[in-house]
Structure 1
Amino acid sequence: MRLGELYAFSRDTRTIRVGQIGRRVRKILDPNGTIGVNTTDPLTKFFAGGNPANILPNMINSDPAFRADFNAVNGMGISVGELRDAETVLDVITVIVDEYQDHSWNVRAG
């Protein structure tokens, strides 16, 4: 097996845990850890006066941890449309989980 084949194989079996995604989202929403983030929290808790669907995609796509898992230029590629109906932190995590699965990642509980 050539090195390129090994790399391609390892890319097909990438795995991430939902808890890891949740921690990354919490860090994006509360970088200093001063507000506290629960999955049931409404997004309006973090975006007073702004539409979270217009703000969050850029925050997620530019996050270094998510960028490392996806294309370094565009990040995950989460769009405003994908987050348009998101009302809670859990809704955002669900959209991100779907994005990982769409890119052939194994998403595990935990």
Structure 2
Amino acid sequence: MTAGQGVVAARGGVTRITIDATAVGSWREGRLAFENTPMTEVADDLSRTLGITIAVAPDVADRRVRATIATAGLARDPTPLAALLDVTMRRSAQGWTMSAR
């Protein structure tokens, strides 16, 4: 692999992808960058980073996301994600769920 390339491992095998070099390590600066990423993976990354549970309803699970998300303050109130990701955020006893509008 060369600079600007990455690998995604999934059940079906390994896929080479192109990565925006400026986004690498952005989590250290309070940002998460996604490029054609399934919503389920976005929710997993947000949950891990914010320390809260964010689940994805089946109606948006396969939706692809291209965004850079500033994570400051989202652990207290993740509702701003709704406008950015074009979803509805619903709170439950288990955490938050993203679903279609």
**TM-score, structure 1 length as denominator?**
0.29
**TM-score, structure 2 length as denominator?**
0.30
Q: Which has the higher helix share?
A: 1
Structure whose CA Rg is larger: 1
